[in-house]
Chain A
């Protein structure tokens, strides 16, 4: 275990200690103990920055299950480092924010921080693992931690609903992803991502390639809330706001993005990957931004906004994967590489502004008691700091200069415009939809940013809407959003400080093999590109977005605006309920509780299955050789036996049935005599007598039992099934009797009974000598039966029996 390994799992180790801190240092907010760790980790990981920005990688391996090829391998390159810095950096800020957000008196802080640390460790594991199975293990842990955090206030019904929903959707995807990983293993024989990338040329023509891609994408899409799996994210907003800021905007929802980026070298460069990513991405972008406009809750707007921005990043990654189709240096390839670059840049930008926006939304909630935009208003002068941070965040999200959102949106527009010029993957025919949908989505993005801003901060302040006295948040709560807000501005003005430190190494990690030795991608991020199409698109976005906001009064009463819930939720709820109902009605259809039905199933299966196999294997044989001759006496006994059995079946009184049963037993004893089995005849005779006496005791001497059967209705189904069993057994007996494959052990017993065991009665010698164990346990069976009967008669537990 190297230091890097310890760093990866350190959050888990601290999580073990948290309950003790919580219990023994009650006067100190538990968050302070937690805060140190992400800060140290952030500084620790910053030390790797020079290594990765020069294209270096750090990798260490610790065997875990070496026989299965599962090793805990940490692999740190540009992409991993970017995510690690996001996780630890925003983690630090979120912990700081939560210290002021969560009360140490009212809340169960130990739970909160244990879950949060568990999440942080799992997330670090996801982005640092090179081994797919280890990655999967950490991946599921993030799902678990996320659900625990969503249901943090578990007494609220909505919280548990949201947690269950996110769990079901992300774990379904995670499971599919595991399947995809297994297929990758089948194709390459290794779980290591590096190892798989080395064999890309081999697997891209494999029949399992496309199934593996689909399964992995299912995992990535569910985690990163892509259409139509995005529905869990708005319901996850029931979590405490620090959680929403951390998990549901900056880190966990980007795990899917990370996976897609990480596996782009494996799957990229084929049309399926290109279209799935960019297609679902652009649909998600549009759907999310249009849905965000009609939300009334600040966090719900932010949730749909997150969905739409994740769609944007996914779309850019899809477009960027096309460059794996070309070699480096060709003209179209440069633009698609630029799309990947834009994706990474926007990923960073989104984490900064969305984190700060969630935090300000939390502050507004905390200080006013509501997040409903219909109640809020006029907070500009009362909460000036929150107002400023929100303004910066929203302007960046809307894509206004000079903030970083503007830059990444310009790059996005460039990406989709250049994508239409591609001459591969049917882009000539269908490429035009990208700029159109991108532009529409941006218009709506602009509109919901305006709504969020003006509905919250402008207008008249109405104190009657709030239950508490509204005032600015304490400084501790403001530190984190201020830092994130400053980053938005810094990255906006000086984007190039990121260019070769974080962005270029990430792009190089997503698109390896495109660069020669010592080469680097060109990364220049400008504010001013001249009067080009992108600029006019932005102007159009501003104009139309403003128009939508200004005409809000007229469409605010429309059905579209009033219906807040995503229509796909009805599908989800309906199918979940349908599944439960269907399962229940199916179970109650066959699990009737009647023993007769179960026996019918068992016997029917037996008959059908054995009958089918008989028919399939043509196993029925009737050769009449080797049979013993039939004497008249034996025929008569057989006739008696059959008659007695039929009498039992149709008997109307118990006595008849019991006597019939006795007759069958005595005929059997007669057969034993005829077939040279004296010991059997003896035993059968005695036991039949005792059984009959027992039956008579039970049914005759005990007056509670009625003498007559209750009416015995004739059932055709029973008769058919029992005839089936009878015929089958007959066929089985005859056929197997005529297909003997080897002799019996008879000769051994004849030879050995006297010489080795010293007895002349072979049956008895077998029972007590050759196979004495059978007899031992047969005695045990009788003993247990006797004790059981004794206890049943003696013990009276229920009161009414006493």
Chain B
């Protein structure tokens, strides 16, 4: 299971990096989204998969899955959501200011604003 998920994570990373390397701002933001999904999945995988019940003591199970990676991922999800929303609005503003969402065309635009 872990190997399969590791491969899935690798594919998510590949796609994320590929999108980040493109010239289009939208694709870059979507790329960061994919990348953060990959990271979250990786975190969970590294903690070990399916080693027991959900980390709720009410379950009264013999063993539970590791709660710490889940807490870390929860924090990471929220932070990446905040950053992505900020990034998105920033991209929108940049588009309005420069009339393009092509990164290459923005190079010379420093002095415009």
Q: Which residues of A come within 8 Å of B, CB atoms?
A: 593-596, 599-600, 603, 624, 626-630, 634-635, 638, 641-642, 645-646, 648-649, 654, 657-658, 661, 664-665, 668, 671-672, 674-680, 683-684, 687, 690-691, 694-695, 698-699, 702, 704-705, 709-710, 712, 715, 718-719, 721-723, 725-727, 729-730, 733-734, 736-737, 744-746, 749-750, 753-754, 760-763, 766-767, 771, 774-775, 778, 781-782, 784-786, 788-789, 792-793, 797-798, 801
Contacts and interface: CB of A to CB of B under 8 A. Distances in A.
- 7 tightest CB-CB pairs across the interface, nearest first? A726-B14, A730-B10, A785-B82, A722-B17, A762-B67, A733-B6, A722-B18
A533 B97 CA distance: 88
Contact of B21 (A596, A629, A648, A798): A596
Contacts of A710: 23-24, 101-102
Given A729-B10, A760-B57, 4 more contacts: A722-B18, A726-B12, A730-B13, A744-B68
Contacts of A763: 55, 67, 70-71, 74
B57 A750 contact: yes
A627 B2 contact: yes
A784 B85 CA distance: 11
A745 B68 contact: yes
B100 to A, nearest CB: 9
A734 B3 contact: yes
- Interface centre among A638, A664, A719, A745, by most B CB within 10 Å? A664
Contacts of A785: 82-83, 85-86
A596 B49 contact: no
Nearest to A748: B68
26 contacts: A596-B22, A599-B21, A628-B1, A628-B48, A629-B1, A634-B4, A642-B8, A645-B34, A648-B15, A648-B19, A675-B44, A676-B50, A679-B74, A680-B70, A705-B95, A709-B27, A721-B17, A722-B13, A725-B14, A730-B13, A761-B56, A762-B55, A763-B55, A782-B78, A792-B93, A801-B97
B45 A687 contact: no
Interface residues of B, number: 83
Contact of B57 (A723, A753, A789): A753
B6 A730 contact: yes
Contacts of A677: 44, 54-55, 65, 70, 73
Nearest to A735: B6
A73 to B, nearest CB: 55
B12 to A, nearest CB: 6
Contacts of B47: 744
Contacts of B77: 680, 683-684, 687
B53 to A, nearest CB: 7
B13 A698 contact: no
Interface in B18-62: 18-24, 26-27, 30, 33-34, 37-38, 40-42, 44-58
A792 B89 contact: yes
Contacts of A658: 30
A600 B73 CA distance: 28
Contacts of A596: 21-23, 103-104
A668 B37 contact: yes
Contacts of B12: 641, 645, 664, 726
A175 B88 CA distance: 51
Given A675-B65, A778-B75, A801-B97, A792 B90 contact: yes
A733 B95 contact: no
Given A744-B47, A761-B55, A762-B67, A723 B24 contact: no
Contact of A668 (B27, B40, B49): B40
Given A722-B15, A788-B86, A683 B3 contact: no
B11 A645 contact: yes
Contacts of A680: 44, 70, 73-74, 77
A668 B41 contact: yes
Contact of B26 (A704, A709, A715, A744): A709
A654 B51 CA distance: 39
Interface of B: 1-24, 26-27, 30, 33-34, 37-38, 40-42, 44-58, 64-68, 70-71, 73-75, 77-79, 81-86, 88-93, 95-97, 101-104, 107, 113
A658 B27 CA distance: 10
B92 A715 contact: no
Contacts of B102: 710
A679 B69 CA distance: 12
A472 to B, nearest CB: 62
A623 B26 CA distance: 40
B81 A687 contact: yes
Contacts of A745: 68
- Interface centre among A657, A664, A733, by most B CB within 10 Å? A733
Contacts of A687: 77-78, 81
Contacts of A733: 2, 5-6, 9-10, 42, 45-46
Given A638-B4, A737-B6, A778-B78, A801 B96 contact: yes
Nearest to A737: B2
A675 B50 contact: yes
B104 A594 contact: yes
Contacts of B67: 746, 749, 753, 762-763, 766
- Interface centre among B3, B27, B74, by most A CB within 10 Å? B74
A453 to B, nearest CB: 62
- Interface centre among B12, B70, B78, by most A CB within 10 Å? B70
A750 B64 contact: yes
A699 B88 CA distance: 10
Contact of A766 (B68, B83, B84, B113): B68
A683 B74 contact: yes
Contacts of B71: 763, 766-767, 771, 774
A699 B97 CA distance: 16
Nearest to B8: A638
A122 B45 CA distance: 67
Contacts of B85: 691, 694, 785, 789
A699 B26 contact: yes
Nearest to B26: A654
A705 B102 CA distance: 12
Nearest to A751: B57
A737 B12 CA distance: 18
A638 B5 contact: yes
Contacts of B86: 785, 788-789
- Interface centre among A680, A760, A798, by most B CB within 10 Å? A680
A781 B9 contact: no
A734 B5 CA distance: 9
Nearest to A624: B3
B18 A649 contact: yes
A698 B17 contact: no
Contacts of B37: 664-665, 668
Contacts of B68: 744-746, 749, 766
Nearest to A729: B13
Contacts of A744: 47-48, 66, 68
Nearest to A750: B64
B63 to A, nearest CB: 9
